[in-house]
């Protein structure tokens, strides 16, 4: 019996060691094979072009940026031509841009990041909860740490007339993704953990309207888009931009509907590749090492956006409206945001603040192509697995762990059998000598 416990102990010990090694290796990309071995802009462009020719993409636009300067662009379309001025809906990448508007409102003295959001709202209030709603602040809404448990996820409306009011959507979003309650409420202790909340950004949308006296779209156009010369950006598509809107596709190669949203700040930005290149310039550092902000937003606000505010399992993953993908030198992170919705829209922007390098990808028709390509770009830039690449490698990690456990099992069983045979042979020899 003691021998069996020894083997079990050895199995557990080796299994834990193997799992730790595989987990660490996955974090560091040991098992990941990027589609290209270099992030040289020209080589990267060629490899991406080859990749999108081998899988379905309805529309595709990409910029590769080096030292703050656009080096290469790539466009692809199934039908209607796509170029740098084509309008894309960018799903949750909207939050990154919307956050700049909220920070602008802070700079204007209209709101404070750490004031309870309830102090600004008149048209709607958070429902009573088991927790202190006064702990729900602007900062925590921007960083998904406000304790909201809506889990939204908006599916949108095919008919513009079906769009809810902001207040009605906050009570219960009719376009909530399947399996989501759609109710915006405090369900866990604010600031206790990071929990993604599309409803939190819809609440921020209401906050902007309440404190600015303008509609959310008018505020963003007046205070962010026009000053930055982002003339192809809006949250509500107008006739002058509609003719440049890209076509929408499902992943099965069929046409998909154009969806409309109440949740403008969370998921309904319309913009172009050229406008996002201008937006990218906000975060470039000047000679003093601070983000230049193009004279429209302060370096302090931009620095706050990329400072860690939300973490999961000890890893910093979110700032204020910005995803933190991987840590780099000088206590910085590659940051930005991704967008994903269905029918498939997938968008991504990654910014390395130390180098001014980055990538912007807009696409329709594929559920995760932009994220896969952008995460590979980060891997080539840093040699590390970023926040969104790691989940994509979980399947491979699990497979490697299981193979290793099988090998360990076979090894220990083999050792046990060999030792038993040796012991039997030794006992047999002793008996013969005794005769």
pLDDT in tens, 190-240: 999 999 999 999 999 999 999 999 999 999 999 999 999 999 999 999 888
Instruction: Check whether residue 124 and residue 267 sit in a common domain.
Output: yes
Contacts of 214 (CB under 8 A, 6+ apart): 208, 222
The last residue of one of the domains, among 363, 384, 405, is 384
Instruction: Check whether residue 261 and residue 410 sit in a common domain.
Output: no
Q: Is residue 389 a part of any domain in this protein?
A: no
Instruction: Check whether residue 413 and residue 336 sit in a common domain.
Output: no
pLDDT digit string, tens, across residues 125-137: 999 999 999 999 9
Q: Is residue 390 a part of any domain in this protein?
A: no
Instruction: Check whether residue 255 and residue 352 sit in a common domain.
Output: yes
With a cut of 70, say whether residue 31 has pLDDT above it: no
With a cut of 90, say whether residue 112 has pLDDT above it: yes
**Alpha-carbon distances, residue 434 vs 1, 28, 263, 431 (angstroms):** 28, 60, 89, 5
Report the pLDDT value the prediction gives residue 432, as an integer from 0 to 100: 55
Asked if 137 and 113 touch (Cβ cutoff 8 Å), the reply is yes
d(CA 299, CA 321): 16
Domain containing 21 equals 2-30+395-434
Instruction: Check whether residue 17 and residue 119 sit in a common domain.
Output: no
**Alpha-carbon distances, residue 377 vs 34, 352, 359, 382 (angstroms):** 9, 11, 8, 9
pLDDT mean over 402-418? 80
Instruction: Check whether residue 310 and residue 408 sit in a common domain.
Output: no
Report the pLDDT value the prediction gives residue 384, as an integer from 0 to 100: 85
Of the listed ranges 181-185, 196-200, 390-394, 396-400, the least confidently predicted one is 390-394
Q: Is residue 68 a part of any domain in this protein?
A: yes
With a cut of 80, say whether residue 43 has pLDDT above it: yes
d(CA 183, CA 171): 5
Report the pLDDT value the prediction gives residue 275, as an integer from 0 to 100: 98
For residue 280, what is the domain's CATH number?
3.40.710.10
Q: Is residue 161 a part of any domain in this protein?
A: yes
pLDDT digit string, tens, across residues 135-168: 999 999 999 999 999 989 899 999 999 999 999 9
Q: Is residue 271 a part of any domain in this protein?
A: yes
Report the pLDDT value the prediction gives residue 383, as an integer from 0 to 100: 87
Report the pLDDT value the prediction gives residue 28, as an integer from 0 to 100: 66
Instruction: Check whether residue 309 and residue 418 sit in a common domain.
Output: no
With a cut of 90, say whether residue 280 has pLDDT above it: yes
Of the listed ranges 248-252, 261-265, 284-288, the least confidently predicted one is 284-288
Instruction: Check whether residue 220 and residue 261 sit in a common domain.
Output: yes
The model carries a pTM of: 0.89
Sheet hosting strand 69-77, strand order edge to edge: 69-77, 59-66, 357-364, 345-352, 332-341, 323-328, 315-318, 310-312
Report the pLDDT value the prediction gives residue 9, as an integer from 0 to 100: 74
Q: Is residue 47 a part of any domain in this protein?
A: yes
pLDDT mean over 52-67? 94
Say how many domains are in the chain: 2
Asked if 143 and 319 touch (Cβ cutoff 8 Å), the reply is yes
pLDDT digit string, tens, across residues 371-380: 999 999 999 9
**Average pLDDT in the chain:** 90
Percent of the chain with pLDDT over 70: 93
Instruction: Check whether residue 399 and residue 319 sit in a common domain.
Output: no
With a cut of 90, say whether residue 89 has pLDDT above it: yes
Instruction: Check whether residue 283 and residue 323 sit in a common domain.
Output: yes
Instruction: Check whether residue 23 and residue 147 sit in a common domain.
Output: no
pLDDT band at residue 296 under the 50/70/90 scheme: confident
Q: Is residue 36 a part of any domain in this protein?
A: no
**Alpha-carbon distances, residue 354 vs 64, 80, 100 (angstroms):** 16, 37, 20
Q: Is residue 427 a part of any domain in this protein?
A: yes
With a cut of 80, say whether residue 270 has pLDDT above it: yes
Of the listed ranges 30-39, 99-108, 277-286, 289-298, the least confidently predicted one is 30-39
Instruction: Check whether residue 344 and residue 417 sit in a common domain.
Output: no
Nearest by Cα to 385 from 403, 372, 398: 372
With a cut of 90, say whether residue 30 has pLDDT above it: no
pLDDT digit string, tens, across residues 396-407: 778 888 888 888
Report the pLDDT value the prediction gives residue 27, as an integer from 0 to 100: 67
């Amino acid at each position: 019996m003691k021998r069996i416990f020894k083997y079990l102990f050895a199995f557990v010990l080796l299994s834990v060691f193997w799992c730790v090694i595989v987990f660490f290796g996955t974090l560091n990309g040991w098992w990941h094979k990027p589609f290209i071995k270099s992030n040289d802009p020209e080589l990267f462009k060629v490899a991406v072009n080859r990749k999108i020719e081998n899988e379905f993409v309805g529309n595709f636009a990409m910029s590769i940026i080096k030292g703050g300067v656009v080096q290469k662009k790539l466009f692809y379309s199934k039908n209607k031509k796509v170029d740098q001025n084509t309008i894309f809906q960018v799903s949750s990448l909207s939050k990154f841009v919307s956050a700049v508007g909220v920070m602008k409102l802070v700079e204007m003295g209209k709101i404070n990041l750490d004031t309870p959001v309830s102090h600004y709202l008149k048209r709607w209030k958070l429902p009573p909860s088991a927790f202190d709603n006064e702990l729900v602040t602007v900062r925590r809404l921007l960083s998904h740490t406000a304790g909201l448990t809506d889990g939204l996820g908006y599916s949108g409306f095919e008919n513009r007339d079906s769009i809810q009011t902001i207040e009605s959507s906050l009570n219960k979003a009719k376009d909530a993704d399947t399996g989501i309650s759609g109710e915006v409420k405090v369900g866990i202790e604010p600031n206790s953990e990071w929990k993604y909340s599309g409803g939190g950004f819809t609440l921020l949308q209401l906050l902007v309207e309440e404190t600015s006296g303008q509609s959310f779209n008018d505020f963003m156009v007046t205070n962010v888009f026009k000053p930055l010369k982002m003339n192809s950006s809006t949250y509500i598509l107008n006739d002058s931009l509609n003719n440049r809107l890209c076509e929408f596709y499902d992943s099965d190669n069929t046409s998909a509907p154009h969806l409309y949203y109440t949740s403008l700040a969370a998921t309904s930005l319309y913009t172009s590749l050229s406008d996002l290149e201008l937006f990218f310039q906000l975060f470039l550092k000047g000679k003093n090492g601070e983000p230049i902000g193009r004279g429209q937003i302060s370096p302090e606000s931009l620095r706050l956006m990329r400072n860690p505010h939300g973490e999961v399992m000890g890893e910093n993953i979110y700032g204020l409206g910005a995803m933190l993908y991987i840590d780099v030198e000088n206590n910085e992170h590659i940051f930005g945001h991704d967008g994903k919705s269905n029918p498939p829209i997938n968008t991504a922007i990654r910014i390395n603040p130390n180098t001014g390098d980055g990538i912007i990808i807009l696409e329709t028709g594929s559920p995760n192509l932009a994220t896969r390509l952008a995460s590979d770009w980060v891997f080539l830039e840093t040699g590390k697995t970023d926040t969104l690449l790691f989940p994509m490698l979980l399947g491979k990690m699990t497979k490697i762990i299981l193979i290793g456990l099988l090998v360990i099992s076979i090894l220990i069983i083999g050792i046990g059998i060999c030792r038993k045979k040796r012991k039997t042979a030794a006992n047999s020899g002793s008996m013969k000598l005794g005769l």
